[in-house]
Structure 1
Amino acid sequence: MTDGQLPKSVLARGVLLLRACGDSETALTLAELALCTGLPKPTAHRLIGELVRLGLVERTEEGNYRIGLGLFVLGQSAPSVRELRDAALPYLGDLHEATLENVHLAVPDGTDTLFLEKVTGRRATPIVSRTGGRLPAHCTATGKVFLAQDPRPPYRALPRLTPRTLVLPGQLARDLALTRARGYGVNLEEAEIGISAVAAPVYVRSNGPRPIAAISVTGGTRRLDVDRMGARVCAAAKALTRTLSA
């Protein structure tokens, strides 16, 4: 991103820094923040200092930067997120108890899927996802649930995360058609080798035919029975839909 393409307002440039911190698994150096956002280093230094003073970003002992507690508290206070998460937690917990695998609640976020909640345990397969993290929609089960109902899903310049990621337009279109037909999305090692997932859509009446969220179960490919898990995840998603629509 060139300086001419950067947002003009201080607020928008601050948001670039917050997103860079939020998207990273680790704390970032000032140089890394400048590289990620395209901001000049002096500008990044000035704005990140202000975000630290506001409590939205925190500085580690090593001098790097990560999302602060203040931003987490603000995010948790959003009514729509809190209500959806609170309504979903009992169903996520039941799915985890039944499968002993990773269970997610996700929402669409542009071309990504954003994980609002993750329920896991010691016996669950280790995976890369985290609460508040995001992955490209086309290579995740939750994301395919959202793309399947999108009249114009993205088919160009799709990133390939593994050799099994569907990036050719024809391949992805067929997979999304299958997602619509069977009522759930499947990711077969498309985001992480050895890891597969099944996801089902969650609706509310006021949102029409497009899902507002998705529930998924993610685990090792060898131990994940896609058909059986599809039925189980669909049942949980439909139960949550009824709760939200009551």
Structure 2
Amino acid sequence: MTDRTRPPSVARKIMAILDAFALGGVRLNLSEICRRAGLPLATGHRLVGELVAGGFLERVPDGTYRIGTRLWRIGSQAPAVTGLRELALPHMEDVYEVTHDNVQLAVLREGRALVVERLRGTRSVPVVTQVGSTLPLHATGVGQVLLAYAPPELLESVLAAGLARHTPRTVTDPGELRDVLARVRRNGYAVTRDDMTVGASSVAVPVRDADGEVVAALSLVARSRSADVRRLLPPLMTAARALSRDVALHWRVEPAVPGPPVSGGAPPAPPAASGA
């Protein structure tokens, strides 16, 4: 029996269930989980119940499920979270004090932008992006920064997987995306306007390590009608330069090798998850 024909193990089924939440859904009902994980409803019901009992998932009163605190505590110990978050938070707080807009920090993981920290502005555009959630590379400011400085083969993988349309403004043409990324490298920052969510815009800049390699992206997410690059970019650039200095001095974790983008039949991230 080959790997292709061998039935999936219980561990693979559980990983598929947990991975369903990495595809953009903060809360999922049982049918959505099973569809994303490729599991029969009865199997999914049994395994999801066990994950809830163990604290890895939580059942919300409306019947949907979300990542549980036990899994969050385990995941929060990952080096990409602990070291970088601790270094970034003071600089992110400085940016928030100046702008009062949402501030987000993301790294490249498995062909998506993984949000490792965020500060939500009380008077800015509502966002539901959470620490540990992922965003598409082509439709978000942080994603475009990470993709612009990633190895060329990652871009080809992203293009081969298809550019999902999240709003009428999302870049879905491969040639246009190449032009956008070239502009990011030329200008040193990315700007998106209504690409991920109508009404939300972002400005994002790279964070570099001691070798000058881009290891993260820092962004501000604001209402489109008030997202003035001239207002948002200076404090963001100042924070990114300061954080890059701290990363160069104190962060020794090797970045993960970029994997292929999340593939296949999973739906795109819901529009409510505003771009970073």
TM-score by length of 1: 0.89
In the TM superposition, what is the alpha-carbon distance from 1:5 to its structure 2 partner? 8.4
Residues 1:227 and 1:60: Cα distance change in structure 2 (over 3 Å)? closer
What root-mean-square deviation, in Å, do the aligned CA atoms of Structure 1 and Structure 2 show? 2.1
> Any idea what the Cα deviations from partners look like across 1:161-181, whole Å, max 9, x if unmatched?
111111111111111001001
SS of equivalent residue, structure 1 residue 49 = helix
User: What residue number does 1:241 align with?
Assistant: 244
Map Cα deviations across residues 62-104 of structure 1 (whole Å, 9 max, x no partner).
5543211101111122233111101100011010110010000
Tell me, in whole angstroms, the C-alpha distance in 2 between the residues paired with 1:67 and 1:178. Answer: 37
Query: 2:78 maps to which residue?
Result: 78
Distance 2:205 2:72 in 1: 27
Give, in whole Å, the separation in 1 of the partners of 2:5 and 2:44.
16
Q: Aligned AA for 1:167?
A: T
Range that drifts further, 103-112 or 82-91: 103-112
Match status 1:25 vs 2:26: yes
What residue in structure 1 maps to residue 203 of structure 2?
198
Q: Which has the higher helix share?
A: 1
Q: Deviations over 1:167-220 (max 9, x none)?
A: 111111111001001111111211111211111111213xx5542111100101
Change (3 A) 1:75 1:7: farther
**Structure 1 position 6, deviation (Å):** 9.4
Counterpart in 1 of 2:159? 155
Does structure 2 conserve the Cα–Cα contact (< 8 Å) formed by 1:202 and 1:213? yes
2: distance between equivalents of 1:120 and 1:78?
Answer: 22
Residues 111-167 of structure 1 show CA distances to partners (whole Å, capped at 9, x for unaligned) of 321211111232122234332222211010100111111213122410011111111
Match of 1:185 in 2: 190
1:197 to 1:7, Cα distance in 2 relative to 1, 3 A: farther
Distance 1:38 1:173 in 2: 33
Q: Specify whether residues 64 and 101 from structure 1 end up closer, same or farther in structure 2 by C-alpha distance, changes over 3 A only.
A: closer
* Distance of 1:131 and 1:210 partners within structure 2: 23
Aligned pair 1:230/2:256, yes or no? no
The whole-number CA distance in structure 1 between the counterparts of 2:30 and 2:234 is 47
Match of 2:259 in 1: none
Q: 1:5 to 1:75 in 2, by over 3 A?
A: farther
Normalising by structure 2, we get a TM-score of 0.80
Give the Cα separation in 2 of the matches to 1:7 and 1:190: 40
Q: 5+ residue gaps in structure 1? A: none
Name the counterpart of 1:219.
222
Give the % identical residues: 39
Give the Cα separation in 2 of the matches to 1:183 and 1:56.
Answer: 39
Shift of 1:43: 1.9
The Cα offsets for residues 19-64 of structure 1, whole Å up to 9 and x where unpaired, read as 22454232x3332321221111222122222222322112344554
2:174 to 169, 174, 179: 169
Q: 1:128 to 1:45 in 2, by over 3 A?
A: closer
Q: Which runs of 4+ in 1 moved over 4 A?
A: 4-7
Structure 2: any 5+ residue segments left out of the alignment?
250-276
Question: Counterparts in 2 of 1:81-120, with a 5 A limit?
Answer: 81-120=81-120
For 1:7 and 1:71, locate their aligned partners in 2 and report how far apart those are by CA, in whole Å.
26
- How many Å separate the matches in 2 of 1:13 and 1:98? 46
Aligned position for 1:45: 45
What is the CA distance between 1:16 and its match in structure 2?
1.3
SS at structure 2 position matched to 1:212: strand
